[in-house]
Amino acid sequence: MTALSRFLTFIRFSHTVFALPFALGSMVVAADGFPGWRIFGLILLCMVFARTAAMTFNRVSDWEIDKRNPRTAGRHQLLGRGAAIATCAINSLLFIATTAFINRLCLLLAPVALAIIFFYSLTKRFTHAAQFFLGLALSVSPVGAWLAVTGSFAWPPIILAAGVLCWVAGFDIIYATQDVETDRREGLRSMVVRLGVPGALKLAGLLHLLMLAGLIAFGLSAHLGKIYWWGLLPVPFLLVYEHRIARTLDVALINKAFFETNATIGLLFIVVTAADRLVR
């Protein structure tokens, strides 16, 4: 494994497909089309820098805990702790610096965004609502992209952010079923620890219903058209598939369904949202 591949595995680069599509969808709606290469490039850079900073912060804060979890025990072998801390600091500074090239509001809110996405990594030590804080961290992306284009707040990205929060909290509850015994042993908190696996999976189902409501409300508030509405039709079926797999409690199947289903939902969202705005 090359140094680059080890680093990308360390920060779970493949999971970028979860937050990025919603940021780009928000960007396209805010611009009523393509905003131009400059803003597009700056938003991409902000996403890369912020996510890299967040993931390295998470790895550093959970360093010793991950060593004792069989699922994550090899993470610390991919990158040294000192290198992870330096990467987090550098990417945090690069994120803030990049927002300075967008607009004043984005620059002022950049430290707030970093505080939100860093805070998630600490929450499982004191609250069972940790999955909701992860959802909050990823929900920052559509709001930030909208602000990058328009320089002002509006209801559509806030509604979309609420949908993303519910979606992420739901699928992370499913993902956390793999670690319930480790979390209990370590004294960590999550909705799975609090409710047990059956109760947590019911909550995840409710959250995904709310996510669907959020996507519908976003479409209405943003005045999206037929392409968007037809494009949303597969989403409920994808979520049902994910929940059916989750009930098997098969770790290998859950991992496969977790990535493939949620990546498909994210990519489907950006494709139909962009098509609705760009195809006239």
In a domain, 221, yes or no: yes
In a domain, 7, yes or no: no
Determine contact, residues 267/17, Cβ cutoff 8 Å: yes
Note the pLDDT tens digit of each residue in 189-200. 999 999 999 999
Q: How far apart are CA 31 and CA 27, in angstroms?
A: 6
The pLDDT of 142-153, averaged and rounded, is: 97
Print the domain residue range for 107. 16-278
In a domain, 148, yes or no: yes
The pLDDT of 167-173, averaged and rounded, is: 94
Is pLDDT at 210 greater than 80 in this prediction?
A: yes
Can you give the pLDDT at residue 21?
A: 95
169, amino acid identity: A
Note the pLDDT tens digit of each residue in 73-113. 677 767 888 989 999 999 999 999 999 999 999 999 999 99
> How many domains in the chain?
1
Q: How far apart are CA 39 and CA 62, in angstroms?
A: 34
Closest listed residue to residue 152, CA positions, set 183, 97, 111, 109: 109
In a domain, 153, yes or no: yes
In a domain, 113, yes or no: yes
In a domain, 105, yes or no: yes
In a domain, 161, yes or no: yes
The pLDDT of 45-69, averaged and rounded, is: 89
In a domain, 190, yes or no: yes
Buried b (16+ CB within 10 A) or exposed e, 11-50: bebebbbbbbbbbbbbbbbbbeeebeeebbebbbbbbbbb
Is pLDDT at 13 greater than 70 in this prediction?
A: no
Residue 177 belongs to a domain with what CATH number?
1.10.357.140
112, amino acid identity: V
